[in-house]
Structure 1
Amino acid sequence: MPINIAIKWGHRALTTVLLLIVILGGLFGYCGNASRNDLLVSQKQLSENVWLYVTKYQDAGATDSDVYRYYLNKYLSDPMAVLQKSAPFLQADVGNATVTAVGDHVLVKLTGKVNSFSNSAFYYDGKTPVMPRIDLNAYASDPWK
């Protein structure tokens, strides 16, 4: 009889621990994907159907480097509402990258630190899916300046 009680209590304890792990994992995932406090720095038409939007993170402290996020989309009348729900194709510490486009082929050239980069972006222009190809040419900044 005592072994049955030990098994029941062990099962209850294990179930409680696993439930806590799932709940805490969900909370950390939600907090990690919380909306960003970005400010729209620039928007520019690259080609007929492709617009570039650049945002800057506003909550960087004195010891943090600036974070600029680059997005591709169609023309947006209220860009921040859409961009908060989108993934940037480029995150860097500079906001002055040279971005040009030939049709749906986007060329990016920058000097600075690249935090993340994806060579494709995806959005809908009406009901038409648009997926521009992106080429990146990045140069490291001089660490002694």
Structure 2
Amino acid sequence: MTRSIDYGNLMHSAMRGLIQQVLTETSEHGLPGAHHFFITFNTQHPDAELASWLRDRYPEEMTIVIQHWFDNLEVDDDGFAITLNFGDAPERLRVPFDAISTFVDPSVEFGLRFETQSYDDEDETEDEEDDADDPPIRGDAEVVSLDQWRK
């Protein structure tokens, strides 16, 4: 049996830990200065919680902005919950960290991108059976370009 260091998985874990720490500090102290976040996440993730009308409108992924108005930001080891305003209608969302595909703070030109994952249980079961002896393959993480958020 050959062992190797799974750098991809370790990097994803570290980057999600960074997001957790930033959001925890934001929940405790608010956003400092001009900081604000664009967070894109997979709405099909089994642990993502959002209103059915939002899931209908964003059937695959959704980008939220944490900036001027947000409420009840709660962060735990698995993800975060937040109340955001959608057309004068406050809605509560729960976003698991492993559902996040991008995290960007344009105020300091910082961004992270995670490879997307499929959350189809049948595919996962088939993959586990086919690759039972192979080590798991993890997606790479990369820094994203902020050009699309520049004004």
Q: Same fold (TM over 0.5)?
A: no
Answer with 1 or 2: which has the greater Rg: 1
Relative contact order higher in (CA < 8 Å, ≥ 6 apart): 2
The structure where helix makes up a greater share of residues is: 2
The structure where strand makes up a greater share of residues is: 1
- In the superposition, the TM-score normalised over structure 1's length comes to 0.31
